[in-house]
Amino acid sequence: MGEIMLYLFTSNARPRYIQDIPNVLALPHGALYHFRYDDRIVVDELKDQNSHRRLEGTKALIVYVQQTKNPSITTEVSYYPLREATIRNIALDGIVLTVTFELGNYVDWTKLALLHPNEREQTITQVLQAERRPPKKYISIADGATQSYLSFESSGQTTRVWQLIVTAISKLPEFADTVFYRLDGIREFIEHLGSKLKRAFRRSKLATYEHRDTQLVEILRGHAGYILRSGRTYFLELDFYQAKEPEAPVLGSRIAAVVDKAYFAYAPKPIEVTFRYEHCILPLAIPPLNGDILTPLDIDLLDDEELDPPLATAISIPIAPQVGLLLKLTYPRLYLYVAFAILFMAQVITAISGQLSEFNKLFYATPPVWEDTAELLLALIGSAITAMVLFILYKRLPAIAQ
């Protein structure tokens, strides 16, 4: 077999499996996630531990399976291909197979949404034989060349493709009341130097910015996140979707980006999702730090039961994405090292000013006329540099001042 693709199925058999779907749709490209499978529902090739390392880097397809749970009738299944992934690790621990993968592009539902459900089922059943797909097996291997029926998001189309997916699956009963969201990314907006100068001299009141996307990286083994620099302000961007567009704020539909207030100058306020589609931007202001910090970023529904007054409408929302990422807050190492180097040199200059006469004895028989002036200048320069560096450190690194 040439190029292969793994099929990773998750179903509505249990609430935890259902929860996987909003989660994998909410996480950004490059995030890590994992599924667990009982070895009874794993194809034989994947039970061989020698094959696990060879499969690292293999493409995978995440598919949601809606199946009838009535044992008295034949199990009927419907397939919803959602997202591409890349296998990072496969491990068999006893009878449980854990598959860790890196999330990739969304499946483009532009054509799939137009198909009758039976036609969509055929796209999967033509690739996987009956004994290699649900309800018998929930993780399988297929020939990668047979995936031509699928198309994935193109550049700049991520939001539109994601909206197509959540619109389609929100029609299923288990997702009817779900508030979906997607972490679009964390960006830094930097004002152009020319804009700063114009505003400084009152030549313009408008600021112009350029934005920089913060890349998602693996901060710890198996944990992805963002590296943010202290003393800067970033913006967390989120897309939302809920099938039932309320006329007023809904109890249980407020989304909060929860961060540790000890490491942020501003804690984002909860978001009230009052439209079917919505895009929100939340500031993340990081104060100066004097050390690297690892802290979580959790995005979840708020418990609004104790609000006073309560929100206007109350509905039951069974699930919503429950995702978290790591944030690594870094301090300006080079800045700090240079400051301490300058501080050290200032102390050396101050020390030399008190011993200048001893140095001059090595070169002059009599003290030069400028000796006293030089001692005074060196003492003033050393003290001034010391005071300036300490003041800058006090302002930029308040933890040192404490």
pLDDT in 10s for each residue of the chain, 402 residues: 457 889 999 999 888 899 999 999 999 999 999 999 999 999 988 988 888 888 999 999 999 998 876 655 666 788 899 999 999 999 999 899 999 999 999 999 888 777 777 777 777 777 788 888 888 899 998 876 556 667 888 888 999 999 999 998 998 988 888 889 999 999 998 878 888 888 888 888 888 888 889 999 999 988 899 999 988 889 999 999 887 766 655 555 678 888 988 889 888 888 877 778 888 899 998 888 878 899 999 988 776 554 445 544 444 555 678 888 999 999 888 878 888 899 899 888 888 887 777 777 777 767 777 778 888 888 898 889 888 888 877 776 655 444
- φ/ψ of 13, rounded to 5, equals -65, -35
CA distance 109 to 120: 11
The pTM of this model reads 0.81
Tally: H helices and E strands in the chain:
8, 18
Nearest to 166 by CA among 229, 232, 244: 244
By DSSP bridging, strand 4-11 and strand 32-38 are unpaired
Per the CB < 8 A criterion, the answer to whether 349 and 387 are in contact is no
pLDDT at 64: 94
Residue carrying the six token digits 């018998």: 136
CA distance 252 to 214: 30
